[in-house]
Chains A and B, each alone.
Chain A
Amino acid sequence: MASTEEIRSEVAQIVNEIVGVAPEDVQLDKSFADDLDVDSLSMVEIVVACEEKFGVTIPQEEQGNLKTVGDAVAYIERAQA
Chain B
Amino acid sequence: MTDIVITGIGAFTPLGADAPTTWEGLLAGRNGVAPLTEDWAADLPVRFAAHTAADPLEHLDRVAARRLDRSAQLALIAGLEAWRDAGLGLGDDNPVDHERLGVTCASGIGGLQTTLFQWDIQKEKGPRRVSPFTVPMLMANAPAANLGLRIGARAGVHTPVSACASSNEAIALAVDMMRLGRADIVLAGGTEAVIHALPINAFAQMNALSRRNDDPQHASRPWDVDRDGFVLGEGACLLVLETLEHATARGAHIYGTLAGAGISADSYDIVQPDPSGHGQSSAMERALRNSGLSASDIRHVNAHGTSTPAGDVTEAHSIRRALGDAADQVIVTSTKSMTGHLLGGAGSLETFAALMAINSRQVPATINIENLEPDLPIDVATTVRDLPDGDLAAINNSFGFGGHNVAVVVSNAHQSRGLAS
By a CB distance below 8 angstroms, the chain A residues around B136 are 41
By a CB distance below 8 angstroms, the chain A residues around B63 are 18-20
By a CB distance below 8 angstroms, the chain A residues around B117 are none
Give A52 to B125 CA distance when docked, in angstroms. 11
A6 sits at the interface (CB 8 A):
no
Number of A-B contacts (CB under 8 A): 18
Contact of B128 among A41, A42, A51 (CB under 8 A): A51
Question: 1/0 per residue B120-148: CB within 8 Å of A?
Answer: 00000000110111001000000000000
Seen from chain B, the residues whose Cβ lies within 8 Å of a Cβ on chain A are: 61-63, 66, 128-129, 131-133, 136
Question: B133, A41: Cβ atoms under 8 Å?
Answer: yes
By a CB distance below 8 angstroms, the chain B residues around A20 are 61-63
- Minimum Cβ distance to chain A for residue B221 (Å): 46
Give A45 to B128 CA distance when docked, in angstroms. 10
Contact of B132 among A19, A41, A51, A52 (CB under 8 A): A41
Contact of A44 among B61, B62, B66, B132 (CB under 8 A): B132
Give A20 to B131 CA distance when docked, in angstroms. 17
> Which residues 36-61 of A have a CB within 8 angstroms of B?
41-42, 44-45, 48, 51-52
- Minimum Cβ distance to chain A for residue B330 (Å): 51
By a CB distance below 8 angstroms, the chain A residues around B66 are 18
By a CB distance below 8 angstroms, the chain A residues around B62 are 20
> If the complex has contacts A19-B63, A20-B62, A20-B63, are A48 and B129 also in contact, measured as CB distance less than 8 A?
yes
Tell me if A's interface is mostly helix, strand, loop or mixed.
helix
By a CB distance below 8 angstroms, the chain B residues around A18 are 63, 66
Question: B129, A45: Cβ atoms under 8 Å?
Answer: no
By a CB distance below 8 angstroms, the chain B residues around A19 are 63
Question: Which of A19, A41, A51 has the most chain B CB atoms closer than 10 A to its own CB?
Answer: A41
User: What 16 new A-B contacts, CB under 8 Å, besides A20-B61, A45-B131?
Assistant: A18-B63, A18-B66, A19-B63, A20-B62, A20-B63, A41-B132, A41-B133, A41-B136, A42-B132, A44-B132, A45-B132, A45-B133, A48-B128, A48-B129, A51-B128, A52-B129
* Chain B residue at minimal CB-CB distance from A43: B132
Give A41 to B136 CA distance when docked, in angstroms. 10
Question: Which of B66, B131, B132, B136 has the most chain A CB atoms closer than 10 A to its own CB?
Answer: B132
